Structure 1
Amino acid sequence: MGRTLLSILLLIALPAAAQIYKYTDASGNTVYSDHAPDGVQAQPVELPPLNSVQPQAPSPPSSDTPSPAPARNAYEVLELTGLPTEEALRANNGTFTVSVLIKPRLQPPHQLRLLLDDAPYGQPSNVPILQLVNVDRGEHRLAVQVINGETIIQQSPAVVFTVQRVHKP
């Protein structure tokens, strides 16, 4: 069975490898054919090789292109701690600290970046205790992102909290 199939495939492929001829017919038209007609001077046509695509191994990423982000949820635990959710946070000058619970430990070159009201806040850091300064009173949303340069690796759920600032006369 295997030889028969191979023979059939070879017979099918033979016409594709046939010679092409060029000649001029009685009306003066140029004609291309796979056989030379009798009594007409035909010239064989040299065809360029067929286009082919060679598989290529993927090239290693260059240092100019950002490395792809690690798999989603590279960290098992990423959350903010130290923020009251049931009562207002008393910070008369609007300054307070939050802690980041992250497991496993933050891996270099990853950094932590706070998002206050869905906007980046402060400078990225590799320290899991972050300070906020002069935050206005009222309700806010706070989250933390793990970043690698400008690439967001993972983001914690947002925590909604209220800042209470009391001024003494």
Structure 2
Amino acid sequence: MGRGFLFLLLVIALPAAAQIYKYTDANGNTVYSDHSPDGVQAQTVDLPPLNSVEPQAPSTPTPNTDSSQPPRNVYEVLELGGLPTEEALRANNGTFTVNVQIKPRLQPPHQLRLVLDDQPYGQPSNVPILQLVNVDRGEHRLAVQVLNGEAILQQSPAVVFTVQRVHKP
């Protein structure tokens, strides 16, 4: 059965590889055929090759062997806003919000996470307004990271600020 089927496919495919002829019939019509008619002057037609696409091997990214080159930033603007740098931030209970300025907009599935005094702070979020709660008085460093899952894609420059908490007896 298998050999018979293969032979049948070959017989069907042979006309596809046959020569094409062009001639003019008795009524003056141009005719194309796979065989040359008897007694009629026919020209062979050379057809251009069929369109084809050669398969290409999938490209693999080359590893970055130069460790001195920083990774390309995904976001052209990533910085914190809403923090005073010249004077103390007055937050009696140590609770305040900061704004994240990011361009272009945060792309899914990326999330934002604060880094307070070089330690991750709070849960990642996709909202560019983040809240800090019960931050101790004194000087602090704050930055924001863009995460893709657990991977850090980018981090803003750290902002140094001072929290002032008034203690009432």
TM-score tier (shorter): 0.5 to 0.7
The C-alpha deviation readout for 1:64-122, integer Å capped at 9, x for no partner, is xxxxxxx6211010000000000000000000000000000000000000000000000
Could you list the runs of 5+ residues in structure 2 that have no partner in the other structure?
Answer: 1-56, 61-70
- Residue matched to 2:18: none
Equivalent runs, 1:113-124 vs 2, <5 Å = 113-124=113-124
1:94 alignment partner, SS class = coil
Q: For structure 1, list consecutive stretches of 5 or more residues without a partner in the other structure.
A: 1-56, 61-70
- The SS at the match of 1:120 is strand
Over the aligned positions, Cα root-mean-square deviation in angstroms equals 2.0
- Pairing 1:78–2:74 present: no
- Could you list the per-position Cα deviations for residues 22-81 of structure 1 after superposition, in whole angstroms to 9, with x for gaps in the alignment? xxxxxxxxxxxxxxxxxxxxxxxxxxxxxxxxxxx4599xxxxxxxxxx62110100000
Instruction: Work out the number of aligned pairs and report it.
Output: 105
Cross-structure match for 1:158: 158
Q: 1:145 matched to which residue of 2?
A: 145
1-structure distance, mates of 2:59, 2:152: 24
Q: TM-score, normalised by structure 1?
A: 0.59
Other structure's SS at 1:112 match: strand
In 2: Cα distance, 1:121 partner to 1:77 partner = 21
How far does residue 123 in structure 1 lie from its aligned partner after superposition?
Answer: 0.0
